[in-house]
A and B are shown apart, each in its own frame.
Chain A
Amino acid sequence: MKTRNLVWFTAVILTLVVALTSLPAADKGSGANSAAMAAARQAWTITDLVLEQDIDPPARQQMLLKGIKSLLRLGKTKAPTPEQFAALLAAIWPHEADRRDAGPTDQLEHILYNGLLAWRSGEGNREFYLSPQEAKRYEMIAGNRYVGTGIQIRKNDKEKLTQIVVPFPGGPARKAGARPGDLIVEVDGKSMEGVSLGRVVERLQGEEGTKVSMTVRQPGETKTRLLPMVRSVIPFTSVHGYRRTGEESWSFSVDSSSAIRYLSLDEIKISTLLELRKIEPLLRADGMKALVLDLRFTRGDDLRHAALVADGLIDGGDLWRVRDRLGRTKEYKADRDCLFRDTPIVVLVGEYTGDMAAIVAAALQDRGRAIIVGDMPKMELTVTSLVHLPQESGAVLLRTGRVERIERPETTKEQRSAAAENRLMPDHLVAIERKNLLAIEEWMRQQESPEPKVDAKPPSDPQLDKAIVLLREAVEKTTKKTTNE
């Protein structure tokens, strides 16, 4: 074991000892103290033995942590006071000299705070603590007012350069002439060869209205192009058609023989309702008689925005209710305004449908507004809120409520039980191979590029095919009804 660690963990234990001995005598008396002292000595001896004799010993801190965790898990132990916790942290906190390769203080803090919130299992590698800068960035993205050059980048290892995957339509880079595949040779005249992705991002980031220039070239070419640009707000659209036909134009048609139109939501976010409102007249003018709403890859975080979208699509009635930690419920309702009124809708859902999209789909099902087709999404249905820490010292993402469905009476038995368990059972379960699903996702990703391949053929999609069959039937029925009248 390195000397530094030894010093560190001696300090931990010393602090623990100090902390434990400083417990007020009235608290279970000195008996508890002396038992703890004896246990600490014995624990130390055990770890000594492991370190000396085990063939593959863990670090002492890991063992101590495991031991304490086991004790805490019992539930009988007391939580330390803030002072005791502070003393413990002070003891294990690396000294200034030791910190050289331990990273800046904020990094340690970051690890600690995220560790505190790591009990939220099953949510991937998501971080729940945000530093002040991260909180600012989070809000910027959540507000769909991201400031930058408007590019998606990746590392091109062969060329040792950063490569532009998508220069987003309407973004400063695209306006300056950036093209998909461009390699970033220089930023503001400084070579970017061998520079890490993170550093390139750092160089490109800046305040709104500031200038930045990129020198780029296409792979395999030597001719470079200088792209001067001004960083600006780039609102990212979340509502897309089926096939991009130009920088700002889409084809919404999935089925040339009928008037079925298609929209996919990349995300349910702050701008989605306004985007849907603005796209509706376009689809109506385009002769839409039925609509596929593809939510199979729809991300989203904010229940309020999901409520706006569901409300936008539903003509009055309940959406869902949210139960808070005290068991109080709040019902969300739709007003009478309704987008795509009188237009039959099929919603596509699947394994990758995000929570917010799933709850929107569930509300559309519960109110009989749409037929749900696809695979059953995983639904967590918690309300996540960004809660700011005092004095603008960052923020934490907390679960502040649980969403409950308000089922409609005429649902099938299966749907009722799914609703009771807060799952979403599609009206038509249509399985799809993973390979196929990924090809569909790739197709959607390609459509984000301002220069889509015009002759590209969309992948086969049994779920979309089912949607088209159902909507054709629905359109036929409406046409017959109108003719009869």
Chain B
Amino acid sequence: MSKRSIGLVVLIASIVTVFGFQFSVFGTSSDRPSLSENRKLKTENRGLQQPVALVVADEGRRLFVANRRAGTVSAIDVERGRVFAEIAVGKRLADLADGGDGQLLAIDECAGELAVLKRDKDSLAVTARLQVGDAPVSICCLHSSRAAVACLWPRQLVIVDLSHPAKPRIDKSISLPFAPRCQLALKGGANIVVTDAFGGKLAVVDTERGVIESVRPVPAHNIRGLALSADGKELLLTQQLLAEEMPTRSDDIRWGNIITNGVRSLSVDDVLQPHADLLSHSRLHPLGTFGRGAADPAGLAVVGDKIVTALAGTGEVAFGPQLHGDWPRLPVGRRPTAVAHAGKRIFVVDTFGDTISVIDSNKIKKIVEISLGPRPELTPTQRGELLFFDARLSVEGWMSCHSCHSDGHTNGLRSDTLGDGSYGAPKRVPTLLGVGHTAPWAWNGSIVHLEDQVRQSIRTTMRGPRPTEQQVADLTAYLQTLPPPPHGVSSGEAVRRGETVFHARGCVRCHAPPTYTTSRTYEVDLEDEMGKKAFNPPSLRGVSHGVAFFHDGRAATLGEVFTRYRHQVPADMTRRELDDLLAFLRTL
């Protein structure tokens, strides 16, 4: 074949690709797209694509990236530094994994779906889909054609059988005692480590038997990255640590006394031994130094003897471990979240920059930055989202809003801020999911405008520079879009009876539907360390997703609120009434 005719074939092939895509990408769910396509998806105000996960293929020559907001998977030719295909997969992709045999596994957080994709040289296509449950947030491949999907709000780990890729099926579902996020397979996938999406719990699951072998706490929150050390003996995790009793003074933040950002190592043997003391061989490598915080460590990769972690809050990647001083860093964008590697090449996903940075790990130098698409004009809400995860809002980059309000929810810990007017009485970090509808704000209900709360938190908790009015407006706009956590299961006799109890026993006086709060403050036999007794009732929407209760988190479970602390429980309330009430509350 002459050179000219080869060129012609390539041209025809690319035209076919373009048109093929035009017809397939926006098919209905019954008519799923299955063809390759080019990367020109909907162009009208699409916002950021928000890449969140990547799979490295063909020894690092190709990358496949899941885009959260765009709901697409992009295929990248690394040598050419460009996207060669992009396919619509779902509504909001949360993770992507290499299923082997040219298959990719993507999960759709919004649709609750697992999508199986087939990749070949120039194309990508969805070949099968499976409903896995609400809010799947991560996927982890196990051996013998299985994968584990972590579902956030339902607190489930779903094991999927992929031995017939065209017909994936759910093998088993395992209930977890916490909302899961990160996962890592151990022993070739016979076991899996699952970590808490908000707090510091870590579960080890036997995936074959479908049994939880252990659930143990680690002093941590926001665990966002898991990896094995080069020798396979250590489990590494990126995390944060909050000193609950320390007042959020600027100097203490700057010296790392409030938020510690770091990489923890745990012994894999300890992790696998259900009764071992998980922390007896644990070590925490703190990141950041005076004048330079390292907020929100996220994705993690072990490259030779190096540990590489994305610092999502400061837009950098850090390279450790380091004997002397802080880990060296490289700026890579706005919010790097995922890290992968092939040989000495490191690939970093910048979620808010819509780019993939390719880095030489020896020289700690960026080789190329690959764009996933044109940079769109952002709406105030979209700008607010960027700010929410941006540690530049805090003093010297030690924390972002997300550092405590994990993904808008809560890390479940307490913090001694000036939010209640004084230091000395640490308060539970409230969820911000649904915050737009629960005026007034602050535990003492003293803040009437959400903007003022935003300003106050930036200035007196994060101790950042004075925000501009636009920043405040954007953040407020973003917060107002956060929906409350999902309702629990709302059927059953007990729920109906519980609702009656809720009304009959006067709970509604303070917790009035639909937001299940009211604007006043009440004295309900609670007192903080500074002698304050009047609190604005927290909203009960999504209360079953709470991880600690009352102003100081003294109740560890919703049940304890009534059984241990007798919160407004009348003397004549029966055990059954209480059980019914709890059943009702869990549906809110």
Contacts and interface: CB of A to CB of B under 8 A. Distances in A.
Contacts of B529: 328, 330
A285 B247 CA distance: 34
Interface stretch (B134-142, B277-285, B336-344): B277-285
Interface in A265-297: 270-271, 273-274, 277-278, 281-282, 285
A142 B324 CA distance: 25
Nearest to A335: B219
Interface in B315-343: 321-325
B257 A337 contact: no
Contacts of A273: 255-257
A67 interface: no
Contacts of B155: none
Interface string A285-320: 100000000000000000011011000000100000
Nearest to B290: A235
Given A308-B246, A336-B219, A336-B279, A281 B285 contact: yes
B219 A270 contact: no
Interface residues of A, number: 29
A270 B255 CA distance: 7
B243 interface: yes
B245 A337 contact: no
A274 B325 CA distance: 11
A155 interface: no
A121 to B, nearest CB: 28
Contacts of A144: 251, 255, 290
A281 B257 contact: no
B323 A282 contact: yes
B257 A143 contact: no
A443 interface: no
A285 B323 contact: yes
Contacts of A233: 291
A270 B279 contact: no
Say what secondary structure dominates the interface of chain A.
Answer: mixed
Interface string B260-286: 000000000000000000011111111
Given A144-B255, A235-B290, A278 B282 contact: no
Interface string B292-332: 00000000000000000000000000000111110000000
Given A139-B251, A308-B243, A337 B285 contact: no
Nearest to A248: B324
A128 interface: no
Interface string A136-164: 00010011110000000000000000000
A143 B255 CA distance: 8
Contact of A277 (B247, B252, B286, B324): B286
Given A274-B256, A308-B243, A332-B245, A337 B325 contact: no
Contacts of A235: 290
Interface string B31-63: 000000000000000000000000000000000
A282 B279 CA distance: 21
A337 B282 contact: yes
Contacts of A145: 251, 254, 290
B322 to A, nearest CB: 8
A111 to B, nearest CB: 30
A95 interface: no
Interface string B214-257: 00000100000000000000000000010101110011101111
Nearest to A400: B424
A270 B284 contact: no
A445 interface: no
A274 B246 contact: no
Contact of A143 (B245, B246, B254, B321): B254
B554 to A, nearest CB: 14
Contacts of B241: 337
B286 A278 contact: yes
Contact of B323 (A274, A281, A332): A281
Given A304-B246, A307-B245, A274 B255 contact: yes
Nearest to B217: A336
B446 interface: no
A330 B416 CA distance: 15
B289 interface: yes
B324 A282 contact: yes
A281 B256 CA distance: 17
A341 interface: yes
Interface string A28-67: 0000000000000000000000000000000000000000
Contacts of A143: 250-251, 254-255
A187 B584 CA distance: 75
Contacts of A271: 255, 290
Nearest to B264: A337
A338 B251 CA distance: 23
Nearest to A328: B529
A337 B251 contact: no
Contacts of A277: 256, 284, 286
Nearest to B281: A341
Nearest to B260: A277
A265 to B, nearest CB: 15
Nearest to A302: B252
Contact of A274 (B219, B282, B289): B289
A395 B241 CA distance: 32
B290 A274 contact: yes
A305 B254 CA distance: 14
A400 to B, nearest CB: 10
A236 B144 CA distance: 57
B290 A304 contact: no
Contacts of A139: 251
Interface of B: 219, 241, 243, 245-247, 250-252, 254-257, 279-286, 289-291, 321-325, 529
16 contacts: A139-B251, A271-B290, A273-B257, A274-B256, A281-B285, A281-B321, A304-B245, A304-B247, A308-B257, A315-B279, A328-B529, A332-B245, A335-B219, A336-B219, A337-B282, A338-B279
